Amino acid sequence: MNTLTKVQEMLRPAQVQDLSKLSFYCGKKQKQNCCFTHLVGLPKSPSTYNPMPLMPYQTQFFKTVQNPRYHKFHVNKSRQMGMTELILRIIQYRGFSKYAGGKVIIIAGTREKTTKKLMQRLKELFRNIPNVIQKSDDLSIKLYNGTTFEGLPARAEAILGDTKIKAIFMDEASKWYMTDDEPVMNAVKPIVDINKSDLFMISTPNGPKGFFYKIERDTNDFMKIKYDIYQAVGFLYSQEEAEEMLKDTSVDTDQEYLNQYTTGRNSIFGTVLDDEIGDFGTLD
């Protein structure tokens, strides 16, 4: 080991320690060594690629998540609301505090490819803090402080219990390519209840079926939140853009933008406009 590597080794724990002291987001425009979000970099606008502040509903969601009363979250959201981005940032941030030394499970679909893409997105959030990563591959990221982020396919047998599971993130949970998603939920539920892990279940609706729909409908201990397209007006979209989107006749706008569980996979809108056709394509 050369001297530089030795020094880097010595510095690593200190850096990890310092990150745990940062607040998640300062709310200011300029970076001033102020918060975790500025350190890792602000999210980029999908249209201009310019760094953008977190939107009010994103900061509000973070506040809700910080409330110790809640640890299961069900978020029914319009398309393209910056929610995947936000949850990835929250689990990354907590990898240095609440989840430090533990395991965070990420499930994005039945196919490995989908989960790998999400893991890649998470990895990109480490581009300004690469030294905290001890090792990583397509489906896992291990930090020097022992925190591990692990991508798993949405299959009951893949989701095994482990006492160190601190959080589970289920992305687009209503759109997984499976006839019956109940076994997956049955595998996740005891893990979350026994470990008191956090559970982030996020999706745009996809017809009145599946566990995502049932959890919203039933009485349970989930914190249920809905974000329709209007929440992003003035931030991701202008009023005119949102109105145009709502006039689109090629998609079920009530479901895609307004939180309604209206159409399943066999509807006239059956083609899901997602590049992950293997996960989200028509079943029959």
Q: Can residue 74 be called a binding residue for ligand ADP (CB under 6 A)? A: no
Question: Exactly one of 13, 27, 46, 161 binds ligand ADP (CB under 6 A); which one?
Answer: 46
In Å, what is the CA distance from 29 to each residue of 41, 217, 232? Answer: 12, 39, 19
Q: Can residue 19 be called a binding residue for ligand ADP (CB under 6 A)? A: no
Q: How far is the CB of 73 from Mg ion (least distance, A)?
A: 14
Q: Can residue 204 be called a binding residue for Mg ion (CB under 5 A)? A: no
Q: Can residue 109 be called a binding residue for ligand ADP (CB under 6 A)? A: no
Whole-angstrom distance, CA of residue 78 vs CA of residue 271: 17
| Residue 141 exposure: Cα atoms within 13 Å on the Cβ side | 26
Q: 84 or 253: whose CB is closer to Mg ion?
A: 84
Q: Can residue 55 be called a binding residue for ligand ADP (CB under 6 A)? A: yes
Contact 197, 165 (CB under 8 A): yes
Question: Exactly one of 19, 40, 43, 159 binds ligand ADP (CB under 6 A); which one?
Answer: 43
Residues between 178 and 237 that touch ligand ADP (CB under 6 A):
236
In the list Mg ion, ligand ADP, none, the entry touching 109 (Cβ below 5 to 8 angstroms by class) is none
Q: Can residue 116 be called a binding residue for ligand ADP (CB under 6 A)? A: no
Whole-angstrom distance, CA of residue 161 vs CA of residue 116: 21
Cα 120–Cα 127–Cα 85 angle in degrees, nearest 5: 55
Give the list of residues 6+ apart from residue 113 with CB closer than 8 angstroms, or none. 276, 278
Task: Supply the angle between the helices 83-94 and 112-124 in degrees, to the nearest 10.
Answer: 70
Question: Exactly one of 8, 17, 45, 266 binds ligand ADP (CB under 6 A); which one?
Answer: 45
Residues between 74 and 133 that touch Mg ion (CB under 5 A):
84
Whole-angstrom distance, CA of residue 284 vs CA of residue 72: 32
Give the list of residues 6+ apart from residue 51 with CB closer than 8 angstroms, or none. 41, 42, 43, 44, 45
Binding map of Mg ion across residues 32-71, x = CB under 5 A, - = no contact? ----------------------------------------
Q: Can residue 101 be called a binding residue for ligand ADP (CB under 6 A)? A: no
Q: How far is the CB of 64 from ligand ADP (least distance, A)?
A: 16
Q: Can residue 60 be called a binding residue for ligand ADP (CB under 6 A)? A: no
Q: Which stretches of the chain bind Mg ion, using CB under 5 A?
A: 84
